[in-house]
Amino acid sequence: MCGYQGWFKADGDALGKGWGHFGTHGKFDPTHLTIDIWPDMTEYKDQHQTAFINADGSAASIFSSVDQSTTDLHFKWMKDYQIDGAFMQRFFSYINSEQAKVRPDVVIKNALEASQKHDRAFAMMYDLSGLKAGRDDCATVIEDWKHLVDDLNVLNKGKKQTYLHHNGKPLVAIWGVGFPDRAYKIDQIKLEELIDFLKNDPVYGGCSVMLGIPTYFRDLKTDCVSDPYLHELIKKVDVVMPWMVGRFDNNTFKQAANYKQHIAKDMKWCADRGVDYVPCVYPGFSWGNLSKNSEKRKVVYEQIPRQKGAFYWNQIYHALDAGAEMLYVAMFDEVDEATAIFKCTDTPPTNARFIDMEGMPSDHYLRLTQKAGQALRKEVELSNPVLKMR
């Protein structure tokens, strides 16, 4: 399963609200730019012209997440490359007002239709980013889940059941639990009430719950709060997914045994407590353009280089070798931090700085993800050697 942001807006798209998440201040040009990798636009039906220039002098175009044709193409790619489906990101800051819900609701509706058409799984992941201590709590998430079930029919849309189930129950994910940089404490935002509601409510419950937690959750250190209450929350859910983006770099994977051992220890810790575990893998990381728009960040391009897929495959290989039975891929479409695995171009626009595909085909990371899925399903043996790191 892949994480799916679905948060990109374009001037002239179906929503008609201008640019969003590609740049800053409602603009998208070389001085208002927050993405580091450019999508391969060859197959998109709806394309939106930008201020960026291709090598041949033509204007570069880009997609919008709110166009139905975009979501349909993305889910088609998931089917083409045997990717099981997507966790649709649902940000707290977007569900806190009726006006802010409009765009994400459109994307959810489009994804429901595409999941039906292409027979791909679909699930909701609530991201608690934007929740403020003393002002907000998880009661807002409860009301939004009711909205998704009653108004958008996420659990019973169409003739097929495409909502992702875990242990026979619809799986709902809650991301952002236990990180020290959050504007809330985990024991003060009614997380237990939310978990209990999703699992036990007679109308809207009966769900399995997954928590997105820090990498070093076992020891309650480094990227994790020191509050042992986190462990109590973990015991109440069905699955955990430690967020590993940026936690391990290329040098880490030259010591592959350490990564495999980390995963194995996580899995045992969770198994001892009756909780399932899914590793998070990603292709690389770059946020040079995004960093330019933040005074708090150092501007770095290719902070974690992709190395033609070697970094990504090393994570996959060692996670599966450690015994993982599921993978969470971060992310399908995130071009902001260049973690997208969907089709990206090796020849991005020339009037701004972007990373490229290092000479690899635009679908290279989709193919690696396909290979990972085949290994998970035991369709092929995990026997290929680890790709050599530079």
Residue 348 resides in a domain: yes
Domain CATH code at residue 178: 3.20.20.80
pLDDT for res 295 = 63
pLDDT for res 259 = 85
- pLDDT tens track, the chain, 390 positions: 999 999 999 999 999 999 999 999 999 999 999 999 999 999 999 999 999 999 999 999 999 999 999 999 999 999 999 999 999 999 999 998 888 899 999 999 999 999 999 999 999 999 999 898 888 899 999 999 999 999 999 998 767 889 999 999 999 999 999 999 998 999 999 999 999 999 999 999 999 999 999 999 999 999 999 999 999 999 999 999 999 998 887 766 666 668 889 999 999 999 999 999 999 999 999 999 999 876 667 788 999 999 999 999 989 999 999 999 999 999 999 999 999 999 999 999 999 999 999 999 999 999 999 999 999 999 988 876 655 544
Residue 382 resides in a domain: no
Residue 389 resides in a domain: no
Q: Is 381 left (phi over 0), alpha (psi -120 to 50) or beta?
A: beta
Amino acid at 108: I
Q: How many C-beta neighbours within 10 Å does residue 165 have?
A: 14
Number of residues that make up the chain: 390
Q: Which residue segment(s) compose the domain that 210 sits in?
A: 2-376
Residue 299 resides in a domain: yes
280: phi then psi, degrees, rounded to nearest 5: -105, 125
Residue 329 resides in a domain: yes
User: What is the DSSP code string of 158-226?
Assistant: SSS--B-EETTEEEEEEE--S-TTSSS-TTTTTHHHHHHHHHH-TTT---EEEEEEETTTTTT-TTS--
**Contact criterion met (CB below 8 Å) for 180 and 224:** yes
List the structure tokens of 115.
């999941």
Beta pairing, strands 239-243 & 208-214: parallel
Residue 364 resides in a domain: yes
Long-range contacts of 92-100 (CB under 8 A, 24+ apart): 92/126, 92/127, 92/128, 92/129, 92/130, 92/131, 92/136, 92/140, 92/141, 93/129, 93/130, 94/130, 95/140, 95/141, 95/144, 96/130, 96/136, 96/140
* 79 burial level (CB within 10 Å; 0-12, 13-18, 19+): middle
Residue 387 resides in a domain: no
**Mean pLDDT for all residues in the chain:** 94
List the structure tokens of 11.
């001037």
Residue 385 resides in a domain: no
pLDDT for res 36 = 98
> CA 300, CA 286: separation in Å to the nearest integer?
7
Q: What pTM was estimated for this model as a whole? A: 0.95
List the structure tokens of 31.
């001085």
Total domains in the chain come to 1
Look at residue 29 and give its three-state secondary structure. Answer: strand
Instruction: Kindly give the interhelix angle for 256-272 and 310-321, rounded to the nearest 10 degrees.
Output: 40
